[in-house]
Amino acid sequence: MTALLSKLQTTPSGVQSATDYLPYGQLRLTPEVWRYLEQGSGKGLTMQANAQALDDVKLMSRPLAEVKGGNTRLNIFGQQFEHPLLLAPIAYQRLFHPDGEQASAMAANAQSGQMVVSSLASQTLEEIIKASGQALWFQLYWQGNRPRTLHLLKRALAAGYSAVMFTVDAPVKQAVMQLPDGISAVNLEASLPMSAVPFNSSMVFDGWMTQAPTWDDLAWLRNQLNEPLLVKGILHLDDAKKILSLGCDGLVVSNHGGRVLDGVPGSLEMLPKIVKLVSGKANVLFDSGIRSGQDAFKALALGADAVMVGRPYVWGLSTCGALGVAHVLRLMRDELEMTMALSGAENLKAIKVGKFLNNLTKDKR
């Protein structure tokens, strides 16, 4: 077995894009951890669909535009960030670097951005937000029932988290690898015991799914919060419509990066339809498959208010901790700015209202 390379203390020379970090990160993780990070579900069809959907969108060069003084600033929920590249919630980040979620949170703040901290974080919510030095967002998984969910939610809010992202497309989390000693979901209570499933009953319907959230639970959750509530994992128009009717502040068009239900469409395929339905009544974020600033531009041009970056920042984290995460964000922001400049868009609003995609692509909206 090849020995793992040690973490770097500086960013590696020659790295010019987020994807350049991939081999550096892989060489510093065990095969088991690397598979956990990179694998999709099933045959990986949804992961392929995410990449293909982004590749299929063609840009349109718009030279001679006046873009001097342009910027990538994002204003959302009364908060301002210098760019729309949010760090997606990724579990157990001490698998990838000893500094774990604290390193990612520090990097997000250093790059004037935002991180969404997972319910399955491997460091305490309080430690992470203290290291960050700013109010972070919290990603909430249903905890099997309302009292347990409310307990976790109140803890996050008391720690200073300023928005809640409720993930609904992975209603029952299942371990896909044996966690090493010393790494666990430290913010969660012990799992609820599974109720005995009657003979000839379904382990899925009458076992696992008895602890999954429902629309009634989402309505209840909305009533527990004064803070912004986003719902992550939405692909179907009817689901988006119902989320609006419940008064949620936003939704995240996402297929969980291809990690849950294999064979669903690439998230980008559904984004324009959901944006049209929402029609400014809530914020729409995009997740799944973003690998570059150019990918981010495509999602923004198709109507997203912001995008979520997942695996690429973990490649940077695995390589050199907070420095790597910050470098990934800076590289992707530079790519986004360059794509904007060459497309004639001076800010995020201009991306949305401009004609920066190939006409054939625009006609599909």
Which residues are catalytically annotated? Answer: 256
Instruction: State the CB neighbour count (10 A cutoff) for residue 258.
Output: 25
Residue 155 C-beta-side C-alpha neighbours within 13 Å: 17
What tokens does 305 get? 């208010």
d(CA 183, CA 169): 24
176-184 — which CB contacts under 8 Å span 24+ positions?
Answer: 176/36, 176/39, 177/32, 177/33, 177/35, 177/36, 178/32, 179/92, 179/95, 180/95, 182/94, 183/92, 183/94, 183/95, 183/122, 184/92, 184/122
Cβ(77)–Cβ(298) below 8 Å: no
Report the relative pairing of strands 283-286 and 306-309 from DSSP bridges.
Answer: parallel
* Strand partners of residue 80: 75
CA atoms within 13 A on the CB side of 115: 33
- CB proximity list for 182: less than 8 A, separation 6 or greater: 94
Among 92, 85, 124, 77, which Cα is nearest to 107's?
85
The backbone torsions φ and ψ at residue 283, rounded to the nearest 5 degrees and listed phi first, read: -80, 140
Nearest alpha carbon to residue 351 among 306, 316, 287, 288: 306
Of the candidates 256, 357, 337, the residue with the CA atom closest to the CA atom of residue 68: 337
Helix (H) or strand (E) holding 110: helix 100-110
Are 95 and 36 in contact, with CB atoms under 8 Å apart?
Answer: yes
Q: How far apart are CA 53 and CA 253, in angstroms?
A: 14
